[in-house]
A and B are shown apart, each in its own frame.
Chain A
Amino acid sequence: MSRRSTMTLATAGICLLLTGSALAQQPKTAPPEAAARPASPSDPEQTPARAAEPSPPPETEPPGPADPLGTYQRHLQVMVGVRTSYVGDNDYRLFSRTVTRIGEAYPVVQLSLGGGVTLWSEQELSLLVLGLWDYGGSSAELRGEKTDVDIHRLAVGAEVRHHFFPRLYAMGRLAPAAVNTRASLQDSASSTTLYSRRWSFGFDASLGAGFELYGKPAAASRMPRFWLLAEAGYGYMTPCDLRFSPDDEDDGAPQRIGETSLGELAIRGPMFRISGAITFF
């Protein structure tokens, strides 16, 4: 799959997530009768006659004293961001010649898409489960032969949050991942493109914070909230062999071709991720 089509897919994914979130929100806001209900469901005064009376808009409702964090804390989250990891593995130089000035690590920049939902909350603490897809790659030349690598990182993890304020929380995240490395080598000697596609195990362990950029102040507001998220930690990946061979359907490739081995690759090292997120309820 080309990098452009993957980006298109990523965009479609974001749209799908947003649409899904909106649909998930609809049943809770659609009946005007339900929206007109007072904050407390146990109000003994509630009658059909009173229910028929026009009610104030829900966003102006004051938060209940027992749930000061409300939708700040319990929500469905969709996020898009940039994950950057710093790889010390010298074999990454097959695909990149750019290193940091300090430490000479290879930065691997990936688009990061994800979504999660709050499973549990207790006062300032809450627990989110989330899924993440990080995608990125690099290109270079090996002694005149073009190389390319795409790295897909599919993670499912848990995030523990602590809200200092409704609009600011700290979090810790552990996200095991399946990492798909798709490398290619345009080989002039055989006049064909060779590929190395491997799956590896990995995880991200990170600490970070979220800050609400925009949203209604009311904790019970069901309008979307916009967040800025930042996290840093360590991303691990078990090494995968870089053994190149042509595609099975490549009729022009030599038959009975042996694999071209160029070592192994491990995308692991310190990482940080900057994301924007939208939360719904």
Chain B
Amino acid sequence: MDKIGRLVWIAVAITACKDIDTDWDTPAAADYKTVGLKGSVAVVDSALDRLVMLTAPTQHELGTEAISVGKNPTHWVPSADRERLFVLSRGVQSAREDIPPTLTVVDGGTRPAVCSRFELDKPYEQLTLDPERQWAVIHNADTYAENPDEILFARLSPEANCRQLSEDERQREVVQITLGGEAIDLGDALQQDAFSFTQELEWPGGARRILVVRRAETVQLVDLSEVVDHPERAQHVLEMPEVRDNEFGLPAQVVYHPSVPDPDGSHHAWLAVRLGNDTSVLIYKVESAAEDSEASVAFNRNIASIGGTATDIEFVMTPEGLKLAVLVPSRREAILIDPHTIVTDSIDLSAPYERLARITDEVTTATAPEDTPDVALLWASGQPSIAFWTLARTSTRPWGSLDVRDTEITVENATSVTDDVRLDQRSRWLLLGSGASEFRVLELLDRDVRRVVIANDPSFEVSLAPTGDRVWIYSPGNAREVAMADLSGDLLRIPTRPVYIERAVDTVLDIERGDGGYAALVLHRGSSVTHGTLAVTLLDAEEPESTDSRFFSGLLLGGVK
């Protein structure tokens, strides 16, 4: 009987069962994010620490590829050209597990893959990319456990941009520095837009690119040419002045001009800081430091009071040389400040313009002379017009002509299309309003304001094609239609091409196809509020037809183990 008993127990042991946990039991977050890249769409499936990359190999095919991006992805940023996606993951730091934080660089082309992965020594929450794709700056370490003043520089040399790095290379390519100055409660000051990269500036010792960091009471300048080999020499601090008793200036905006010749023939870079809590702006001339100084660079500061709160500043070149243009909408004025003398000129704008962008290169032809005065675009939220401001003296106005164009809608948002790769090489801006069933396309070269009228739907959103010559219009929610507007023509009223979609539209993303064409991926989230689902209607972006579309579903289920 003992033998029989043993056999029974073995049989029971072999056949005894248990329930297991698998990735299939992990629902996708209902509010997952999507990022449109050049040749693919990245769906951030945070619940499974991965990206689901959607591609369109051909007109009627949809590909999915799951890419692991490290434990607990927290932040993701596409490069300006949409060719790469940078994903920051926190990892896991607990008594049971120690998974390091990572920065993963993903190729966003038609064949997505991990380009490189940097292992980090501690978790960070924010990431700022160099528009010239040489650096990624990783910042905002966990404020409870780490020093929030620490930032990481990951060097993205072109050859390292899409290949696996060795451990030595990883160590060499990631540099940590601690920002100078007092460790203060930064609040919202150290957010992503507080970091910006400059072009090459005229700098003592040679041209340099600078990382500008706005902090609560200082502006930190980090010399990118020194950051790897001499990080201690890389930092320069601009202290903000005391604007009231025990209250220091809060830098709200930093602008620069890379190189301006002085009367003696020397060239200097200029910086300007707009304060968010004062009516003055600070102007710095970048010079060599005195020989007896420990510092290598001197920042000679001038303070200009402008008599009102400025909303935007920009260096502009006029026939009389470099000026700092300052917008003061409360006075419906622009102020031009001579950086050398701090002499100011006020210009009546007749409208409270709040924003300013230098568009000289976009509105002048290649044959224009080099000393052509700058042209700036002015706009404001709630204002039914935009203006082209040419910074040249005219017979009727002291400072340039103001070419006002009626937009007929109150402009809430103006978006430059110039960040995208444009096939037709025409510069244009999208002017989006509020409460209107239409938007405007501003052609900079001929200064045309072209209309795009939507079929009675003021809640529409737009999605720009990476080529910049096509825009998709849709209403997230229940509408089962998208419309494509072809911007490449010359019509002042741009027609839209509606396409019926069989399910409610969440968003539309226009990508390159594997066969060289373009595809529009209309994303559908489904009706479930407890878990995320994803389906896609695939359209030919250039000739969208409902009858030639394909519907693909269950896209968050693929690749799960």
Contact = CB atoms under 8 A, between A and B. Distances in A.
B24 A262 contact: no
A254 B19 CA distance: 35
Interface string B521-553: 000111110111111011000000001011111
A257 interface: yes
Contacts of A100: 14-18
| Chain A interface residue number, banded | 35 or more
Contacts of B547: 256
B558 interface: yes
B90 interface: no
Given A90-B561, A141-B25, A143-B28, A260 B553 contact: yes
Interface in B249-277: none
B22 interface: yes
Contacts of A107: 15, 17
B205 interface: no
Interface stretch (A15-23, A161-169, A181-189): A181-189
A99 B18 CA distance: 6
A99 B17 contact: yes
A239 to B, nearest CB: 17
B528 A144 contact: yes
Given A99-B17, A189-B534, A258-B62, A140 B552 contact: no
A94 B530 CA distance: 19
Interface in B401-434: none
A28 to B, nearest CB: 41
A97 interface: yes
A189 B19 contact: no
Contacts of B23: 143
A46 to B, nearest CB: 52
A107 B560 CA distance: 21
B114 interface: no
A191 B20 contact: no
A144 B16 CA distance: 27
A104 interface: yes
A60 B274 CA distance: 116
Binding site of B, secondary structure by majority: helix, strand, loop or mixed? loop
A258 B13 contact: no
Contacts of A140: 24
Given A100-B15, A189-B526, A260 B503 contact: no
Contacts of B532: 143
B231 interface: no
Given A97-B22, A141-B25, A187 B553 contact: yes
A256 B535 CA distance: 13
A123 interface: no
Contacts of B19: 97-99
B558 A262 contact: yes
A235 to B, nearest CB: 16
A101 B531 contact: no
B551 A188 contact: no
Contacts of B16: 100-102
Contacts of A99: 17-20
Given A141-B24, A143-B557, A189 B18 contact: no
A256 B20 contact: no
B20 to A, nearest CB: 5
B242 interface: no
A189 B535 contact: yes
A262 B557 CA distance: 7
A107 B18 CA distance: 11
B87 interface: no
Contact of A258 (B17, B527, B531, B552): B552
A102 B558 contact: no
B550 A256 contact: yes
A255 interface: yes
A102 B550 contact: no
A258 B553 CA distance: 8
Interface string B78-105: 0000000000000000000000000000
A93 B24 contact: yes
A103 to B, nearest CB: 8
Nearest to A263: B558
B27 interface: yes
A145 B557 contact: yes
Contacts of A188: 526-528, 531, 533
A24 to B, nearest CB: 37
Given A93-B22, A100-B15, A256 B527 contact: no
B556 interface: yes
Given A143-B26, A143-B28, A258-B62, A189 B17 contact: no
A141 B450 CA distance: 51
B5 interface: no
A187 B533 contact: yes
Contacts of A104: 20
A195 to B, nearest CB: 12
Contacts of A257: 550-553
B415 to A, nearest CB: 30
Contacts of A142: 24, 557, 560
Nearest to B529: A188
A51 to B, nearest CB: 53
B28 A255 contact: no
Interface in B161-220: none
Given A140-B24, A143-B27, A101 B554 contact: no
Contact of A144 (B61, B530, B534, B555): B530
Interface in A222-281: 244, 254-258, 260-262
A89 to B, nearest CB: 13
Contacts of B18: 98-101
A255 B22 contact: no
B457 interface: no
Contacts of B558: 261-262
Contacts of A102: 13-14, 16
Nearest to A100: B17
A55 interface: no
B502 interface: yes
Given A145-B554, A189-B534, 13 more contacts: A97-B24, A100-B16, A143-B28, A143-B560, A144-B533, A188-B526, A188-B527, A188-B531, A189-B525, A190-B524, A255-B502, A256-B550, A260-B557
14 contacts: A94-B24, A100-B15, A102-B13, A144-B27, A188-B527, A189-B503, A189-B524, A189-B555, A190-B526, A244-B554, A254-B503, A254-B537, A255-B502, A262-B557
Interface of B: 13-28, 60-62, 502-503, 524-528, 530-535, 537-538, 547, 549-558, 560-561
